[in-house]
Amino acid sequence: MADGMAAVAVAAEFREELGRLDEAAVQVMLDAWRGVDARLVEEMERFAARLAGQELTPGQVLRMERYQALYAQVERELGTLEGVAAGTLEAGMRQAVGLGASQARYSLEALGLTGVFDRLPAAAVGNVVGLARAGRPLAALLEPMYGLAAAGLLRELTNGLALGLGPREIARRMAADGLTDGLNHLLLVTRDQYNRAHRLAALEGYRRSGVVTGYVRRCARQAGRTCVACIALDGQFYPLSEPFEEHAQGRCVPIPSVRGVNYDSLGAGRTWFEGLSEDEQIATMGRGRWEAWKDGRLTWDTMVRRTEHPTWGPSVTPAPIPRGR
């Protein structure tokens, strides 16, 4: 009898491939971002020098014409960055779909099933990419980058003035810390979109196979790096008709459930977690959650909070930590 761990091994190989694809995209984004930094920091320093010695509220800064001109320049630079990001994301998502489709094929072959899966047609690839974007254009997903960058820019400027920092240090913080809020959103979208496209393509392949009855959720199982909600759900079976509940940048994968295959060896995420050392458990859960779990205020059955995200649909996150007894 085939063992479900064979499909887990295939999933691990393709997760590594997806990681390399993600790393390449992140490097493109970072290179483009460094250019934005370099072009803006000198202008930020000149602006901060004009305000040296003053303590201003964010509202006062926003009303300044020179600040509005500075932010207009920031928006132009971010617009250029968005163009780079959109092209990179669109191409990368299609590659992620290809990886997901290949994972579906090789997973089924590892379980002893051959000739049941063909390459996804172009229309299906486009549909998976659209589903990964929740049916929205990439520009809509990247749009929050502007607001986050604007808020961070203003925060670092007013904080720097209040602390009496010099113009060069204020400008450095505006670029390195303030604008980075926008960069972090850009990277979050990149990683999330690649993961979603890859996972949805695998699920589409399982649906088209005609032999897969559902899927078993499998988390990354990396101590200190895996979401505790994902650990709690690891090992659960879902019918193919049920959407995959996931959070942003989630790395869980669906393992195909096929009749005649033994899945006992997969175990459950909670069992894996309980086999970790105490230090690894705390690094994974956080001390407050770990203490609540140890004293019974949190159980594995109450570890997950389900929400409906306006863009991404069903999502799972760790449940809040109950107050002490």
Query: pLDDT, tens digit, for every residue of 49-86?
Result: 988 888 888 889 889 998 999 999 999 999 998 999 99
Encode pLDDT of 150-170 as tens digits.
999 999 999 999 999 999 999
Q: If the chain, 325 residues long, is cut into consecutive pieces of 10 residues, what is the mean pLDDT of each piece?
A: 89 94 93 86 90 86 90 91 91 94 93 77 86 85 92 93 92 90 90 93 92 93 93 94 86 92 92 96 95 94 87 84 77
pLDDT attached to residue 138: 87
**Distance (Å, rounded) from C-alpha 259 to C-alpha 261?**
6
pLDDT attached to residue 325: 60
CB of 276 within 8 A of CB of 223?
yes
Q: Which tokens belong to 112?
A: 């002893």
pLDDT attached to residue 118: 64
pTM above 0.95, yes or no: no
**Distance (Å, rounded) from C-alpha 241 to C-alpha 234?**
18
